[in-house]
A and B are shown apart, each in its own frame.
Chain A
Amino acid sequence: MTTHEGVGINVTVNGESRDAIIDVRETLVDFIRVDLGLTGTHVGCRTGDCGACTVTVDGEVVKSCLALGVSADKAEIRTIEGFAESSEHLSIIQTAFWEEFGFQCGYCLPGMLFCTEELLKKNPDPSEAEIREAIDGNLCRCTGYHGIIRAVRRAAEETSQAQREKDELRDEEVWARPGERVDRALRGRESES
């Protein structure tokens, strides 16, 4: 690919395919905010310090002020607008931030939420030190971080709880299948003897 400006790219943003003509001088955050109109991705520093412009590109959590928009051609992008599964309900992580006063102005939320999601994917039961490490690429000027730490803990607990409930439901489904029921009953008897 070679061009000075005005190059056609295609990206999938929050599940929706979008074609765009992009100036190669646009950073990814400018493309997302100006061209796509998704202003939930914020601009704080443009130097990679604050994390307010955080999005995911092909599943990787990154700071969009440090990338060129044109480099994201053919990529799958998720912004804060696509964080919850539906626009009607907040996700578990968002609810936890809401309940624990994990934000005030909300400017840092893209970084805080995506980093929390990334942390919980790899570590469902993080310690306070691990939480602090996971959010260390983000600056919050309102909360003093205490509410954020509590929110991530709460999100971890509620994610695990939701997972347990899902597992129990699946167990019940399995239980309902006649063949499985016999297996379970036999296994139960073996362990008793």
Chain B
Amino acid sequence: MILDRFEYLRPSNVDEVVTAITTEDEVAIISGGTWVVQQMGQHLRRPKVVVDLSAAGLSGVSTNQDTISIGPSTTYTQLLEAGDTPPFLRKVASGITGGIQIRNAGTIGGSACFAYPPSDAPGALVTLNATMVLRSGDGQRKVAATDFFLDALTTALRPGEFLEEILVPIADTERIFSYQKFRNVTGSTPIVTAGCIASEDGLAKRVVIGGAATTPVVVDLAGDESEDEIADLTRSLISHPWSDALANANYRRHTAGTMATRAVRAVREQIEGEER
């Protein structure tokens, strides 16, 4: 039982969501509830209004011309089952911590909005060059995933605004990729994640590190760096390190360098394999 009282709203479409979240009171938006409900149970979050998006028709994956549209309430299981899910995101969804139960309830948009640094979603969406479509009573605005994650547990979402859609450019989804994740055991939260999708000219030029810093870190490369250079560069870019009971900042920074090289190596090996 959650101690603090709140009003529960379950809107059935986007307009009702806007109405529900337009209030002076503190609002918590839930979809699968896997983060927020346990936080409320521990009194870490005490909203006056809880808005449940599960019936608002915000799940599903579809392709429109040059973008893939992902509903924020799409669960990881739905991502795995949908035909239009980018292969990179499918790989990410298959390894979500917490087992079948969490993949069935947790949602990609929920994890993005919660912005917990070691979660897979923030780094994955930055790797995919996703655009976050935010909606409020004033209309829509689009924010690049790189600008969406402002700090640990903090996003660009303003009061009265919610994540309506995630857009992924289709061109990025069909190339060679690698997703490397380091964690203590299969069931534990990631320590560091590294995502790399080959560039248009077929090189590993961009690695995105999750878990090492408070927000995803983009490592831009020329494409011909040695592995030591990639590791050093990655470690030097972790300016706001994340630290928790599972791993401290130094450990995460060091691991980030290692995981970045693994991601690049995996992409390079696949590219070489194709050229042969």
List chain A positions with a Cβ less than 8 A from chain B.
1-5, 7, 23-27, 30, 46-49, 51, 54, 60-63, 65-68, 70-71, 111, 115, 118-119, 132-139
A34 CB to nearest chain B CB (Å): 8
The answer to whether the Cβ of B211 comes within 8 Å of any Cβ in the partner chain is no
Interface code B70-86, partner A: CB below 8 Å = 1, 0 otherwise? 00000001000000000
Are the CB atoms of A26 and B1 closer together than 8 Å?
A: yes
Q: How far is the CB of B186 from chain A (nearest CB, A)?
A: 5
A67 touches B33 (CB 8 A): yes
Q: How far is the CA of A28 from the CA of B243 in the complex (A)?
A: 32
Minimum Cβ distance to chain A for residue B233 (Å)? 34
How long is the Cα–Cα vector from A133 to B186 in the complex, in angstroms? Answer: 8
A3, B8: Cβ atoms closer than 8 Å: yes
B62 within 8 A of A: no
- CB-defined contacts of A4 to chain B, threshold 8 Å: 5-8
Verify B5–A25 contact, CB threshold 8 A.
yes
Within the complex, which residue of A23, A54, A71, A133 is in contact with B101, where a contact is CB–CB below 8 Å? A54
Most A C-beta atoms less than 10 A away, residue of B5, B38, B50, B100: B100
Do residues B50 and A111 form an inter-chain contact, with CB atoms below 8 A?
no
Given A25-B3, A62-B105, A67-B37, do A115 and B8 touch, yes or no (CB 8 Å)?
no
Contact status A24-B6, CB under 8 Å: yes
Question: Once the chains bind, are B99 and A137 in contact (CB under 8 Å)?
Answer: yes
Known: A62-B104, A111-B101. A48 touches B34 (CB 8 A): yes
User: Chain A residues near B104 (CB, 8 Å)?
Assistant: 60-62
